[in-house]
Structure 1
Amino acid sequence: MTMEQAVELKNQGNSALKNNNFDKAIGLYTQAIELDPTQAVFYSNRAQAYIKTEAFGLAVEDGTKSIEADPNYTKGYYRRAVANAAILKYKEAIKDLKVVLVKAPGDKVAKQYHNEFVKILKQKKFEDAIRGEDTPSAMSQVDFNNPIVGKNPFKQNQLDITVTGTDGKTNEQHIEVNGITKDFIDEMIDIFKRGEKLPKKYAYALIIACNNLLKQEPSMVNISLPNMKKNGKNEVVLEGVDTLTVCGDTHGQFYDLLNIFETYGWVNDRHAYLFNGDFVDRGSWSTEVAFLLYALKLRYPHRLFLNRGNHETNDMNKVYGFEGECKAKYSETLYLMFSESFGSLPLATLIGNDYLVMHGGLFSDDNITLDDIRKINRFKATQPPKEGIEMELLWTDPQPMPGRTPNRRGIGIQFGPDVTEKFCVSNDLSGIIRSHEVRMEGYEKEHNDKLITVFSAPNYCDSQGNKGAIINFTVKNNGEFNLDCEQFEAVPHPDIKPMAYTTNFGL
């Protein structure tokens, strides 16, 4: 009877997985495993549910348990390969796919993924070999003296682009761009809605001009609304601003980004926004999202702020779609320029000297302070290191239990409420705001309400069914401020699937 009950729980888990109810599926598979821990399929199926929730480290563990339960069960190797590839461990993924192809030589999907991972690994080795300090900036390769080639979809608004100089070390161009008006941005949005692209000359100019602007900002930006109580180091007071809206991941969901602005208000002199990383990848309008945010940053440099996320990195862009999208819609040069500009994005923002906002989370060392974040030299390399506080700002996640544990993603750590409490006390903060994880309600208050996760990509990947959310800061008369979390639903978009510009790898 126990085996029959376990199989029934597995079947229910399969149904939940098919209906994208991943957490329910994980719970049902776990119950099945508790009744009968000898069945390879139970671990393999739970691994697939973990993959769908981006718990890749746990998926690797379940793939291993599936293989241990039955070394001839090929799906265990397959699941572990997909999970390892998701956290950029291509060598391990290739080893497992070779086993699959020995046991099932006719498996076309395994062969496709094997060949793709080998290709990615070779390309990465080649890029690492040719990349050096003397590698010219992609931003130095654009000739702005030539007229626009091909169709210019702009009818009413044009950009005036002037090269004002070059960087003596990288030969990167400094340019002045005039004409980024509200009307230009409105027309650009209409062009995107029609499925058309920017002229490459305009696209390149927006990236270079925004990169020049981002490079002037510190690694931790310090902003405050007028009359907020605390004063701090290098604080920029956003005079005249009534509301500061913090958004989490938008992940190339262009129509949901437009809905945020249409619902809560556009960036303007009285309304500032902070986007907390992961603008690109997954969704298939990542270039449109990036161009809209860059244009708004240029139009309102002290009203729109951008933090870097773990998906504003080359390794993630190769797997999750942004590189392929840039090449399909524009050119490899455009992707390389975006990649360079991502290296200029700040890593954190301090609001009112009271709330620290970063994409991932806190640190493996209790002694890290705000000054340590300020001192990060994010220009040493365009790609963040694989360890240390810069990586942790982009990758770590909270957990409900005290202390620290390895991250369920397979990268970085998880930190408990005691870690959050200690960091807030030692740095005189009221709380932490971070993103990086789907929350079914769009946001979640954790760690005795001292940590808030906000996620702004509703119905993530057209499959999760989650709400999106934003956080609004407004100041009271006494200098304290309101912090209000507001939710919204996904809106319709054209029939283009997520990750349309990359091989899905079962993710």
Structure 2
Amino acid sequence: MRIYCEVRKIWTVLTASLIRFFLGWLTKLDVGCWLSAPQCSGSDEYSVTVDSSNNNSVPSTPQLSNEELNKINTFIDRLWQTREKGGKNSMLTEDEMIGLCHKARPIFLAQPNLLDLQGPLKICGDIHGQFSDLLHLFELCGKPDKINYLFLGDYVDRGRHSLETISLLLCYKLKYPLRFFLLRGNHETQSVTRIYGFFDECKRRFSAKLWRQFIDTFNCLPVCAIIEGQIFCCHGGLSPEMLTPEVTDLFELRQKIKRIQRPCDVPENGLLCDLLWSDPWYIDFSEKAVEPSGWEPSERGVSFMFGPNVIDQFLERFNLDLIVRAHQVVEDGYEFYANRSLVTVFSAPNYCGEFDNAAAVFCLSRLTSNLESLQPTHSNLITDIDDYGHDEADLEGSFQIIRSLSSPKK
């Protein structure tokens, strides 16, 4: 099964001379925001447990008042209605989206850089502004009122409806802060969104000020997660800084990740950059004399590529079983690598209208795992089920293939 390349590769290193934006935390603006100061959270019936045995955990997370929850519910309903004919008028206003950003930031910052989560939950890869596909994903896999979710980043850019996509995800984060989680991807940065569409969408439909508000919110997102103490999740991949001699165990790794200061932009190199940008070596070993190993500069011009031996070293040192990441288009929506010790998950079907790829959602329970795969095709075909198994990691489940009406551009 071959890896699909990104539709458009980053064609140069993002340097300081390319784009410089004003950094730092903006002073709060009085925009007539309907959101009030955050309250301490109460209980959440379906919440994913956040492990309190490490110093990264925070005992309480800001939540909404009943009045604010009612407002969020209205926003969610309106965003779902945008898919319908004439639904454009139900889109949120600029002030409403700015209000979402203001309210989401303290919730993201109240939770650690590295989230410690328990199942059951479903893991989603890149969405890239494909709003209709996001709604279809929730229809297939379950809406967040009953299902716990972890998204691995890249919510905006390239697709036509990034504003609807990120607004709905923020609404669900505000409504379910303890069981709906959003990690940062390499497209949740000011330099990348400036080039690949989100800035232009904000400016065309509303204003550059709105883009700035979303960027300040992206700067607050957590960057990775560990599920059930066994599965490491991030957007891109590993970093050489995670495997230095002084990082001897999982506690030291947590401390290193904890030292990433938020809010922050993503630097051009280092731990945070690598977590969002790096890739595993995807090479057809049958055509190579020697299996790739170690670290090599990435073909993207940013960060690294890492070989199977790096994955083995990482999992062994930190007593983990699996790495789940996104960041690359894969034909079937998911692709295992390095003897199934790493899996890439991509959740934007028919990516950019140019690939006939499926999209996948990685579904985890406390005892078993399975992948649900959504595939865009060209007719209202029946659901197709394929079984798979993986004894080493106790993975078992099925792939559910969904046929859609969209087709890739020729």
TM-score over 0.5 for the pair? yes
TM-score (norm: length of structure 2): 0.75
Q: Give the superposition deviation at 1:494.
A: 13
Q: What residue is the counterpart of 1:240 in the other structure?
A: none
2:75–2:171 contact (8 Å) kept in structure 1? no
Q: Give the superposition deviation at 1:466.
A: 0.8
- Secondary structure of the corresponding residue to residue 333 of structure 1: helix
Q: 1:327 aligns with which of 200, 203, 222?
A: 203
User: What CA distance in whole angstroms lies between the structure 1 residues aligned with 2:16 and 2:103?
Assistant: 35
TM-score (norm: length of structure 1): 0.62
Q: Give the superposition deviation at 1:327.
A: 1.6
Q: Give the superposition deviation at 1:443.
A: 0.4
1:359 to 1:132, Cα distance in 2 relative to 1, 3 A: closer
1:461 and 2:338 matched: no
1:339 and 2:233 matched: no
Superposed CA offset, 1:121-177 (max 9, x none): 4xx34x3xxx466x743xx123317xxxxxxxxxxxxxx533579xxxxxxxx9963
* Amino acid of the structure 1 residue aligned with 2:369: L
1:407 to 1:298, Cα distance in 2 relative to 1, 3 A: same
1:355–1:432 contact (8 Å) kept in structure 2? yes
Q: What residue is the counterpart of 1:444 in the other structure?
A: 335
Task: Spell out the pairing of 1:408-427 with structure 2 (5 A cutoff).
Answer: 408-427=299-318
* Amino acid of the structure 2 residue aligned with 1:436: H
1:494 to 1:379, Cα distance in 2 relative to 1, 3 A: farther
1:265 to 1:381, Cα distance in 2 relative to 1, 3 A: closer
User: What CA distance in whole angstroms lies between the structure 2 residues aligned with 1:274 and 1:260?
Assistant: 13
Q: Give the superposition deviation at 1:464.
A: 1.4
Q: 1:254 aligns with which of 107, 110, 131?
A: 131
Q: 1:141 aligns with which of 29, 51, 59?
A: 29
- Secondary structure of the corresponding residue to residue 162 of structure 1: coil
Q: What residue is the counterpart of 1:162 in the other structure?
A: 36
1:414 to 1:223, Cα distance in 2 relative to 1, 3 A: same
More off after superposition, 436-445 vs 193-202: 193-202
Q: What residue is the counterpart of 2:388 in the other structure?
A: none
More off after superposition, 398-407 vs 385-394: 398-407
Q: What residue is the counterpart of 1:474 in the other structure?
A: 365
1:142 to 1:375, Cα distance in 2 relative to 1, 3 A: farther
User: What CA distance in whole angstroms lies between the structure 1 residues aligned with 2:178 and 2:6?
Assistant: 39
Question: Aligned-pair RMSD on alpha carbons?
Answer: 2.9
1:286 and 2:168 matched: no
1:132 to 1:420, Cα distance in 2 relative to 1, 3 A: closer
Q: 1:215 aligns with which of 89, 95, 109?
A: 109
Q: What residue is the counterpart of 1:383 in the other structure?
A: 265
1:354 and 2:230 matched: yes
Q: Which has the higher contact order (CA 8 A, sep 6+)?
A: 2
Q: What residue is the counterpart of 1:313 in the other structure?
A: 189
* Structure 2: runs of 5+ lacking an equivalent: 40-62, 284-291, 377-403
Q: What residue is the counterpart of 1:485 in the other structure?
A: 371
Q: 1:267 aligns with which of 144, 163, 166?
A: 144
Q: 1:195 aligns with which of 78, 88, 99?
A: 88
Q: Give the superposition deviation at 1:483.
A: 1.7
2:64–2:175 contact (8 Å) kept in structure 1? no
1:180 to 1:273, Cα distance in 2 relative to 1, 3 A: farther
More off after superposition, 175-184 vs 342-351: 175-184
Q: Give the superposition deviation at 1:182.
A: 4.3
User: What CA distance in whole angstroms lies between the structure 1 residues aligned with 2:199 and 2:75?
Assistant: 26
Q: Tell me which structure has the larger Cα radius of gyration.
A: 1
* Amino acid of the structure 1 residue aligned with 2:105: N
1:331 to 1:492, Cα distance in 2 relative to 1, 3 A: farther
1:175 to 1:494, Cα distance in 2 relative to 1, 3 A: farther
Q: Give the superposition deviation at 1:205.
A: 1.2
Aligned residues: 338
Q: What residue is the counterpart of 2:280 in the other structure?
A: 398
2:350–2:407 contact (8 Å) kept in structure 1? no
- Secondary structure of the corresponding residue to residue 134 of structure 2: helix
Q: Give the superposition deviation at 1:210.
A: 1.1
More off after superposition, 184-193 vs 485-494: 485-494
1:245 and 2:122 matched: yes
Q: Give the superposition deviation at 1:359.
A: 0.3
Q: What residue is the counterpart of 1:88 in the other structure?
A: 14
1:220–1:348 contact (8 Å) kept in structure 2? yes
1:90 to 1:494, Cα distance in 2 relative to 1, 3 A: farther
* Structure 1: runs of 5+ lacking an equivalent: 1-21, 25-49, 57-82, 92-120, 146-159, 166-173, 226-242, 476-480, 498-507
